[in-house]
Chains A and B, each alone.
Chain A
Amino acid sequence: MSWGGQQHSYGGYNQASQYQPYGQPTAYGQPNYGQPQYGQPHYGQQPPSNQYNYGNPYQQQGPGPGTAPPGYGGAPNMGGSFASGGYGSFQSPAPPGVSPELWDWFQAVDQDKSGKITCQELQQALMNGNWSPFNAETCRLMIGMFDKDRSGTIDVHEFAALWRYIQDWKNCFDRFDTDRSGNIDANELGHAFRTFGYNLSQQFSQLVVQVFDRRGIGRINFDDFIQACVMLKTFTDKFRVKDSQQQGIISISYEEFLEMVLDNTLLGVQK
């Protein structure tokens, strides 16, 4: 894709005219959904919605009205989908408040029928678009996000939220995977970051691809895309807390630094 047609390529998002090209001296980008939640791990954020906001960087915006929850009915057949597991056999009825389709998916993922999904079960059920297995770290990350009762596992109600979360990310990922290869390169990633409102150089997108690229092909998969975006949001929030003047630059002491980066980095995570 070419950068010359940037404005043009935003035609689909009706706020293109407000888009600020990067290189603004002081502003740095941020995802435009939700309030920054200071002092907590910032795992809960939603994937970017259909509507992007290039205006006031601190404007509160929930997921756009355009993001209807993905239909549970159709069996997804590509990336980020749950590997087909239901064979049409009769299973126990869905608990109250859980749609039959979702209940089917849950039971397919819950291989030992414990009523709980472990990280390992989730990893086995998830697939990238190119049939490579989901990375364990993203599964841990997602379990941690939706595991409300801190059991280390996901019950069917937590699963409903997780399922929606993955579908939203998938829709988002597909928009940037312009060549439908099931993975995205540094240019596509840079496009995604800018669309989310982050003000970062192309070198940064290249670094992120390099960090997550498991096969040395200069591209990252869907699971890594989620992980990268969640990390970016987490550390942007942490930075913003320190950047009270919104100058895009902060002075921090050694100990402040340690506290900011003690959690949520890739330390101890295998590529």
Chain B
Amino acid sequence: MADPNFLAGIFQRIDKDRSGSISAHELQEALSNGTWTPFNPETVRMMIGMFDRDNSGTINFQEFQALWKYVTDWQNCFRSYDRDGSGSIDKNELKMALTRFGYRLSDRFYEVLVKKFDRQGKGVVAFDDFIQCCVVLQTLTSAFRMHDTDQDGWIRISYEQFLTLVFSLRS
């Protein structure tokens, strides 16, 4: 965990209106994905949703410390796959990263993933979209696992079970 004083300084810089808590807008302005494009608002909403323990819709300093660790962990992870430091990773690098995380997915599916999370239309995935991709994948996988009781990679699911699963999905 980083030094609280150091984090307090960062927190104050992000909290531009000095409200004592960080809004989605402030967080989005503060986050950078290294490519000079605005941070994916969906990723920002998702992160606020994950760390906003008191459901205030904003992030207080305590919540911010956990969020900070989360973002830097992702950054380190992302950098190790972004070999050329371009701020984005291609399909093969994404496959390497997700394989390391333990996912086994077909090449065809990696194409689907890159297509979905490539907001810039360049065939690559930027840092913010990479976080989004990983969190979505993790959420969907654990939902699948709950139904895959024999762990064979297949589920048999009724119409209503399927809808119940889908409507219950939140990050």
Residues of A within 8 A of B (CB): 28, 199-201, 204, 207-208, 211, 228, 231-232, 235-236, 239, 243, 248-255, 257-259, 261-263, 265-271
Contacts and interface: CB of A to CB of B under 8 A. Distances in A.
Categorize the interface residue count of chain B.
35 or more
Contacts of B43: 268
B71 interface: no
A24 B168 CA distance: 24
Contacts of B167: 207-208, 211, 228, 231, 266
Contact of A248 (B46, B112, B158): B158
Nearest to A235: B166
Given A204-B163, A255-B109, A250 B156 contact: yes
Nearest to B136: A267
B148 A254 contact: yes
Interface string B100-142: 0000011001001100100000000000000010011101110
A59 B148 CA distance: 34
A187 to B, nearest CB: 18
8 contacts: A204-B160, A231-B166, A232-B163, A243-B159, A253-B154, A257-B144, A262-B113, A265-B166
Given A255-B109, A258-B109, A268-B43, A249 B171 contact: no
Which DSSP category, helix, strand, loop or mixed, fits chain B's interface? helix
Contact of A261 (B135, B153, B169): B169
Contact of B157 (A208, A250, A270): A250
B45 interface: yes
A257 B155 contact: yes
A239 B162 contact: yes
Given A200-B160, A265-B166, 18 more contacts: A204-B160, A207-B167, A208-B167, A211-B168, A231-B167, A249-B158, A257-B140, A257-B144, A257-B155, A258-B105, A258-B140, A258-B144, A259-B109, A262-B136, A267-B139, A268-B46, A270-B48, A270-B57
A115 B17 CA distance: 32
B115 to A, nearest CB: 10
A37 B135 CA distance: 29
Given A204-B164, A231-B166, A259-B112, A239 B156 contact: no
B155 A267 contact: no
B91 to A, nearest CB: 16
Contacts of B160: 28, 200-201, 204
Contacts of B156: 249-251
Contact of B162 (A208, A250, A254): A250
Contacts of A231: 166-167
B29 interface: no
Contacts of A204: 160, 163-164
A268 B155 contact: no
B18 interface: no
Nearest to A250: B157
B87 interface: no
Contacts of A263: 116
Nearest to B41: A268
Contact of B169 (A28, A236, A255, A266): A266
B166 A249 contact: no
A248 B132 contact: no
B112 A270 contact: no
B139 A239 contact: no
